[in-house]
Structure 1
Amino acid sequence: MTKIRFAGLFLCFTVNAAFAEDRVVTGVTDRQADELEQIVRSHLIDPYSAKVPVMHVTIGAVEDRHLCGAVNSKNIYGAYSGLRPFYMPFETLTPQFPDTEAEHLAIMAICDGWGLSVSDQVFTFSYE
């Protein structure tokens, strides 16, 4: 009986660990990152499905701060679209998501120019 309980407990911890997501955040506290993530989510088709594993924020005055990151969320067909880069100026708090491959590369270049590289993440190019 003890073996069964131990195996069940081990399975619960293993399953929970498998669903735990790592998030890389720089430039803000965890609480601020949660608030910024909610803003990003609010601009998506399915905000509840969104996964934002990467967020980098520039350091400086509020009007000079920008958020660069990556998001994976469901599209209008209910399927995950793959990681896409985004950026959001703190002045407007309106995230910019790419609609074309050219915009995708432009956002990555903007973030790289600010020293907020999201290029090390795997992004998909599935724009039509």
Structure 2
Amino acid sequence: EDVWMVNQWVISQRSTGLGLINGFTIRPTLYTFRMYKHFGDQQVYAASGVDNVTVYAAQRDDGALTVMVVNLGDEEQTVTLDIAGTTPAEAEVWLLDKDHNAESLGVQPWPADGLVTLPEQSVTLYMIQ
């Protein structure tokens, strides 16, 4: 259900400009698929109580928990990610924002207090083993 909006885009469409690729121009929506490539397929409960911030979580077949956090706001947001039942040691982080085209930021230590800063208008994916 959450992937539905992404699925309605066509790969290439020159006449309307709605395609993921328009001529030789790659549109930012295409990079969303790179993020979903790493996302799990077994959805687990996730919720956000922060305006303009949405969170999704899913388990992958390899056991990794994936947490995708979307900040639709025009300002960065610092939020607490609380993973019930555990405090991860580290997570591989991917970022899609104005400066990163769904790029890996590498494995980063998990903050002890769970506080993470989300850039404005961004999608951040945390992969926790």
TM-score category, normalised to shorter length: 0.3 to 0.5
Flag the structure with more relative contact order, 1 or 2, with Cα contacts below 8 A and sequence separation at least 6: 2
Larger radius of gyration: 1
Q: Which has the higher helix share?
A: 1
- Which one has a larger percent strand, Structure 1 or Structure 2? 2
Structure 2 length-normalised TM: 0.34
TM-score, normalised to structure 1, is 0.34
